[in-house]
Structure 1
Amino acid sequence: MATSVFDAAKLPYSVRQDWSDLTPIPQHEPGFAPLCPIMYSNEYRDAMDYFRALVQAGEHSKRGLELTEHLINLNPAHYSVWQYRWETLLELNSPLEEELEWSDEVVRRFIKNYQGWHHRRLLITKLRNPKSELSFISAALKQDSKNYHTWAYRQWLLAEFNLPELWAGELGYVEELLDEDFRNNSAWHHRYFLVFGSGVRQGEEDREAIIRRELTFTKQKIAIAPNNPSAWNYLRGVLEHGRLPFSNERLFVELYVVSKEPSDPLVPRSTLSEAADDVVDLDNPGPSAQAELPVPLAIEFLGDIAEEEGDKEKAIGLFKSLATKYDITRKRRVIQ
């Protein structure tokens, strides 16, 4: 296994014999007094002084790799340190498999750090061996299921290598994530990337069937959690991608805007389908008996349908109902 300095106590570089040949370079010239100095620790200041000396000397060495590891532990967002490490690895012809193993630990430790994920991308690009990466990424998503950098790396990996075996389980994987947390907006975004944003793969040539599948899937999720904005946004995205009018989903949306107060119906009962209560419409699944109605997101959707159809008066009435009663926290966004 690759060695790590994370748990090792280190002497300052200024007192190490193996660094005595370098003259440290401080961040500022003597006598310079910055207005708002950054309060670096002595450990970090010492390491950076020697890093500057190393870069100025143009040295790419094993001790340079050790220094960058130490600095990454102290400040994992330092882009120049990462870049120097990458250049040194290439200069020394270091075994990148060992570096990838080291990266496992670093990425898990600093999972929200962009530079760590970018370094891993450079390694995989050079190694051209992505087979175990999806399982690594999935483990990282268990640690933080909505981490932007992790998702961006996953999508890059799929697009970069474009291997059928990498794509094969992705839709099932994202459905598992949405079953665990149907409010995971990152998982919804990844689903859209898989279905509409990454080309057409074998078995998905019938795009009309794909759109029908996605509409059904999304409406089923809305029926489970009607106030989930991620699913409503996805519904809009599917319709827009298919160049379908929002009004295609009028019957479905109206199920979620009927007020439980008989004296305050947003949508008169006469406009709704009169199907028996015990009949399940698979194309338009309704809310559960426990759902809080009307759903503000559905009112907004119905307002967009009215606007789409040129019924300005109805659209204004629906949006005003959001601002004055059903979604007053967003009043400034709805009514200006």
Structure 2
Amino acid sequence: MADHFAAPSYAADPAWADLTPIPQHEPDFTPLCPILYTNEYRDAMDYFRAIIKAGERSQRGLKLTEHLIQLNPAHYTVWQYRYETLLALNLPLEDELEWSDKVVKQFIKNYQGWHHRRLLITKLRNPKPELTFVTEALKVDAKNYHTWSYRQWLLAEFNLPELWVGELDYVESLLDEDIRNNSAWHHRYFVVFGSGVREGDTDREGVVRRELGFTKHKISIAPNNPSAWNYLRGILEHARLPLSTLRVFVEPLREKSSTWTIRALAEEEEDNAKAAEIYKSLATQFDPARKRYWEFRIREIVA
């Protein structure tokens, strides 16, 4: 854990002289495998424990959490103390949200920062600007799990038509940029099938036809894209359509030696002997890296 900036010692700061720092361990305790904290972090945490013990909710406590979050953004107790202190002091949460803008983007893969933001928006009940924030965050990392989870939480929690209206177009733009963006494919399923039926999508058979056409087009561009194939299978499972529905589409793609195309042919083949032959071709010719898996699939169907 590296020092992020030169910070004065809390132990040497007169503003903290009223508190007795509390070390992590008792003086006579020697841990077997001690964590090599920096002196800066150890000093800050000793005073954080003291503040917790004293039950203090204060501006200096908030400043201390800012320092600690820079040193260790995954410290959930620090985040929780910060949120509870904001409420106890009745501070404007809009200001905290603005502070969070920078911190969340700085530590974009950190769950605690996103959860803190969720708590703030739950109180503020103003989700619309958040989609813009999340869109900007996804430009930094288009496949970040926590960012996508937060976006889906916003949509589901508030369920406002003005939030949903642009989601499908947004996902399509991401897939135009990167057809293999598995996170975008997953979000498309969430929007279309996993979050209820909204106005304009009540013709579910029409929605299925639309999604089948969209996905087949993307597969024709990149036949070896597992994300699109998984989405296609998801459509069929959701609509309770058999895999044989794909035969007319899949057969011509076989010539492109697509592992996923050949796998689809094997899975929809009703004749077990023919399916075993297709799996054998995967094991020996098209996907030898997973030979044992394909041999396992052969044993499954011939047993």
In structure 1, the partner of 2:99 is 102
Output the TM-score relative to the length of structure 1: 0.86
Which residue identity is paired with 2:112?
A: Q
SS of 2:253's partner is coil
- Whether contact under 8 Å (2:4, 2:71) holds in the other structure is no
In structure 1, the partner of 2:160 is 163
2-structure distance, mates of 1:315, 1:45: 62
Output the TM-score relative to the length of structure 2: 0.95
Measure how far apart 1:191 and its partner are.
0.1
SS of 2:195's partner is coil
In structure 1, the partner of 2:259 is 296
2-structure distance, mates of 1:147, 1:163: 24
In structure 1, the partner of 2:211 is 214
Measure how far apart 1:10 and its partner are.
2.6
Measure how far apart 1:8 and its partner are.
6.7
Residue 204, structure 1, aligned to residue 167, structure 2 = no
Q: Which runs of 5+ in 2 are unaligned?
A: 297-303
Measure how far apart 1:294 and its partner are.
1.6
- Whether contact under 8 Å (2:41, 2:68) holds in the other structure is yes
1:233-287 CA-to-partner distances (Å, cap 9, x unmatched) read: 11100011000001011011001113xxxxxxxxxxxxxxxxxxxxxxxxxxxxx
> Which of 177, 180, 183 in structure 1 is aligned with 2:177?
180
> Which of 235, 238, 242 in structure 2 is aligned with 1:241?
238
- Whether contact under 8 Å (2:20, 2:50) holds in the other structure is yes
After superposition, the CA RMSD in angstroms is 1.1
> Which of 25, 28, 33 in structure 1 is aligned with 2:22?
25
Structure 1 window deviating more from structure 2 (6-15 vs 75-84): it is 6-15
1-structure distance, mates of 2:17, 2:94: 32
SS of 1:257's partner is helix
Q: Which runs of 5+ in 1 are unaligned?
A: 1-5, 259-292
**Structure whose residues are more often helix by fraction:** 2
Which residue identity is paired with 1:97?
A: E
Return the structure number with greater relative CO, CA threshold 8 A, min gap 6: 1
Which residue identity is paired with 1:320?
A: K
> Which of 284, 295, 320 in structure 1 is aligned with 2:280?
320
1:182-202 CA-to-partner distances (Å, cap 9, x unmatched) read: 000000000000000000000
1-structure distance, mates of 2:80, 2:207: 43
SS of 2:60's partner is helix
Structure 1 window deviating more from structure 2 (30-39 vs 45-54): it is 30-39
2-structure distance, mates of 1:224, 1:204: 27
- Whether contact under 8 Å (2:4, 2:70) holds in the other structure is no
1-structure distance, mates of 2:148, 2:115: 12
Judging changes above 3 Å, is the alpha-carbon distance between structure 1 residues 8 and 40 closer, same or farther for their aligned structure 2 residues? Answer: closer
Q: How many residue pairs are counted as aligned between the two chains?
A: 294
Q: Give the 5 Å matches for 1:28-39.
A: 28-39=25-36
In structure 2, the partner of 1:147 is 144
Judging changes above 3 Å, is the alpha-carbon distance between structure 1 residues 31 and 7 closer, same or farther for their aligned structure 2 residues? Answer: closer
User: After TM superposition, what 4+ stretches of structure 1 lie above 4 angstroms from structure 2?
Assistant: 6-9
Measure how far apart 1:31 and its partner are.
1.7
2-structure distance, mates of 1:202, 1:193: 16
Q: Give the 5 Å matches for 1:4-15.
A: 9-15=6-12
1:142-161 CA-to-partner distances (Å, cap 9, x unmatched) read: 00000000000000000111
1-structure distance, mates of 2:141, 2:105: 10
Which residue identity is paired with 1:305?
A: E
Which residue identity is paired with 1:201?
A: R
1-structure distance, mates of 2:83, 2:291: 50
1-structure distance, mates of 2:153, 2:221: 32
Q: Give the 5 Å matches for 1:77-88.
A: 77-88=74-85
Residue 41, structure 1, aligned to residue 1, structure 2 = no
- Percent identity over the alignment is 70
2-structure distance, mates of 1:15, 1:99: 29
In structure 2, the partner of 1:334 is 294
